Amino acid sequence: MSASLGEKRADFRCGFVTLIGRPNTGKSTLMNRLIGQKIAITSHKPQTTRTQIRTICTDDEAQVIFIDTPGVHIAKNKLGKYMVSVARGALKDIDVCLLMTDPDGIGDEVEQDLLRRLAGLSIPVLVIVNKADLYPVQKIADIVTRCREEAPFAEVFTVSALKGEGTDALFSRIKHLLPYGEALYEEDDVTDQPLRDIVAEIVREKALRLLTDEVPHGIAVQVEKMRERRTGAGEEITDIDASIICEKETHKGIVIGKGARMLKKIGQTAREDIEKLMQGRVNLQLFVKVRRDWRDDDRKLKELGYKK
Ligand SMILES: Nc1nc2c(ncn2[C@@H]2O[C@H](COP(=O)(O)OP(=O)(O)OP(=O)(O)O)[C@@H](O)[C@H]2O)c(=O)[nH]1
Ligand SMILES: [Mg+2]
């Protein structure tokens, strides 16, 4: 690793920044916005992110290593408990914490508990009031006042992660709160997630966005095969086989859909994103499997990568 930026400047900063908060507050959207690239999947359904997603953003002043986490909630199954433990675990050994909130449901039990935990940390905490674009200015101002009262130890920022409003000022502040130090990653590294995992997440995002009710919450995706080959015409193409795992036989039928239309739609939209990511042609084959009630089964959770 060259870490050339860090070596060049004595005042270069580098550090770890965790994004934590209730589900659906826009943590992944904000992280993608701050790094200027879509790495973490997002959806309007709560509990989209299931693991820690680490991304890196480097400029001539600093290297910021972001850790996106699953939304903290009152878990109803073993997957949920795992997700919450992953989120809380991401508060260790970091330099700055961003507590994401939005006007919808602010100050609930989960958020109060998080605030108590954050008050005990000896690092800077920034409370981020997101989705400012959705609410009247006065409502946002009231929420900022309330955040200042409830978290006197924190700085409060208002942003719209979706529209990119307030995010430049936030990024500058984050950088200046980091300790001085050399870069830990190469200048152009964006994430340490393996490509296979990113591909699996893209497929899961499409399932989350296209399916309704409980079905998408019980879905996991595994990439079984990923291989580059040259076609007869000399063009490079990547063959990808991925399985969509659902937790009930009835869900399998819904994922496939009438005339396999749902599966085709998931495959088509996922392929478009994967091709953009890989900057090349992709042949994506999707399979649907059932692992009965996997969200409450330790062994199956481990097989699917959701247990340490
Ligand atoms: N209007 C508006 N919507 C936003 C904003 N930020 C995020 N969203 C939307 O809110 C939803 C949730 O965003 P995510 O980034 O997936 O939220 P999250 O906090 O990562 O959610 P979990 O991973 O489930 O914890 C998505 O539909 C986003 O498009 C914003 O600033 N304004
Ligand atoms: Mg998320």
Furthest-apart CA atoms within the chain: distance in Å: 67
Q: Would strands 155-158 and 125-129 be described as parallel, antiparallel, or unpaired?
A: parallel
The alpha carbon of 300 and the centre of ligand 1 are apart by a number of angstroms equal to 29
Beta strands in the chain (DSSP E): 13-21, 53-58, 62-68, 96-101, 125-129, 155-158, 220-230, 236-246, 281-290
Atom number in ligand 1 closest to CA 163:
31
Q: How far is CA 119 from the centre of its chain?
A: 24
Mutate which of 18, 22, 29, 52 for ligand 1? The one with the most ligand atoms within 8 Å of its CB, which is 29
Residues 35, 144, 86, CA angle at the centre, nearest 5°? Answer: 50
The alpha carbon of 49 and the centre of ligand 2 are apart by a number of angstroms equal to 4
Contact 208, 219 (CB under 8 A): yes
Which residue's CA lies nearest to atom 8 of ligand 1?
A: 26
Residues 31, 34, 35, CA angle at the centre, nearest 5°? Answer: 90
What 3-state class would DSSP assign to 158? strand
The alpha carbon of 28 and the centre of ligand 1 are apart by a number of angstroms equal to 7
Beta strands in 93-145 (DSSP E): 96-101, 125-129
Pairwise CA distance, residues 191 & 291, whole Å: 30
Residue by residue, pLDDT tens for the chain (308 residues) are: 444 554 567 899 999 999 999 999 999 999 999 999 999 999 999 999 999 999 999 999 999 999 999 999 999 999 999 999 999 999 999 999 999 999 987 889 999 999 999 999 999 999 999 999 999 999 999 999 999 999 999 999 999 999 999 999 999 999 999 999 999 999 999 999 999 999 999 999 999 999 998 899 999 999 999 999 999 999 999 999 999 999 999 999 999 999 999 999 999 999 999 999 999 999 999 999 999 999 999 999 999 999 87
Q: All domains of the chain, ordered by start, with CATH?
A: 4-177 (3.40.50.300), 195-303 (3.30.300.20)
Which residue's CA lies nearest to atom 32 of ligand 1?
A: 131
The alpha carbon of 151 and the centre of ligand 1 are apart by a number of angstroms equal to 22
Contact 271, 187 (CB under 8 A): no
> Which sign does the torsion angle of CA 46, 206, 88, 121 carry?
negative
Which residue's CA lies nearest to atom 16 of ligand 1?
A: 42
Backbone angles phi and psi of 204, in degrees to 5: -65, -35
Contact 146, 158 (CB under 8 A): no
User: What's the pLDDT at 265?
Assistant: 98
| Start-to-end Cα distance in the chain | 28
User: What's the pLDDT at 7?
Assistant: 54
Pairwise CA distance, residues 94 & 79, whole Å: 25
User: What's the pLDDT at 2?
Assistant: 45
In total, the chain counts a number of residues equal to: 308
Evaluate: CB of 238 within 6 angstroms of ligand 1: no
Evaluate: CB of 104 within 6 angstroms of ligand 1: no
Residue 196 DSSP code = H
Mutate which of 18, 20, 22, 24 for ligand 1? The one with the most ligand atoms within 8 Å of its CB, which is 24
The alpha carbon of 25 and the centre of ligand 1 are apart by a number of angstroms equal to 5
Evaluate: CB of 29 within 6 angstroms of ligand 1: yes
User: What's the pLDDT at 5?
Assistant: 52
Evaluate: CB of 218 within 6 angstroms of ligand 1: no
What 3-state class would DSSP assign to 160? strand
User: What's the pLDDT at 213?
Assistant: 83
Angle between helices 195-210 and 261-278 (to 10 degrees): 140
User: What's the pLDDT at 214?
Assistant: 85
The alpha carbon of 169 and the centre of ligand 2 are apart by a number of angstroms equal to 22
